[in-house]
Amino acid sequence: MVSSQPCLLCALVLLAFIAVSSTAATMMQNIEITGGKPTIRNGGNVVDLRLEQSSASGFQSKQEYLFARVDMQIKLPAGDSAGTVTTFYMSSQGNAHDEIDLEFLGNETGQPYVLHTNVYAQGNGKKEMQFYLWFDPTAAYHTYSILWNPQHIIFYVDRRPIRVFTNKQAVGVPFPTSQPMRVYASIWNADDWATQGGRVKTNWANAPFIASYSNFRAIPCPSSSKSPLCGQQPSAPVSATSSSGGGNGQGLKQVPTVDDWTRKMTRLLQRKYMIYNYCADVNRFAQGLPPECSN
Cα–Cα dist 269/151, whole Å:
21
Q: Residue 281: its pLDDT value, please?
A: 97
Q: For the chain, list the domains and their CATH numbers.
A: 27-281 (2.60.120.200)
Residues that are catalytic: 99, 103
278 has pLDDT over 70: yes
Least confident of 177-186, 221-230, 260-269: 221-230
- The overall average pLDDT reported for the chain is 85
Query: Looking at 51-60, 246-255, 258-267, 282-291, which range is the least confident one?
Result: 246-255
- Check whether 235 has a pLDDT greater than 50: no
Q: Is the peptide bond before 208 cis (omega within 30 degrees of 0)?
A: yes
Give the pLDDT of residue 227: 77
Please give the Cα distance from 83 to 190 (Å, whole number).
Answer: 5
Terminal CA-CA length for the chain: 28
> Average pLDDT, stretch 248-259?
47
Instruction: Return the higher-pLDDT residue of 239 and 30.
Output: 30
The SS3 assignment for 126 reads: coil
pLDDT digits (tens, 9 = 90+) for 198-215: 999 999 999 999 999 999
Q: Is the pLDDT of residue 21 over 90?
A: no
Q: Give the DSSP letter string of 257-274.
A: PPPHHHHHHHHHHHHHHE
How large is the average pLDDT for residues 68-81? 96
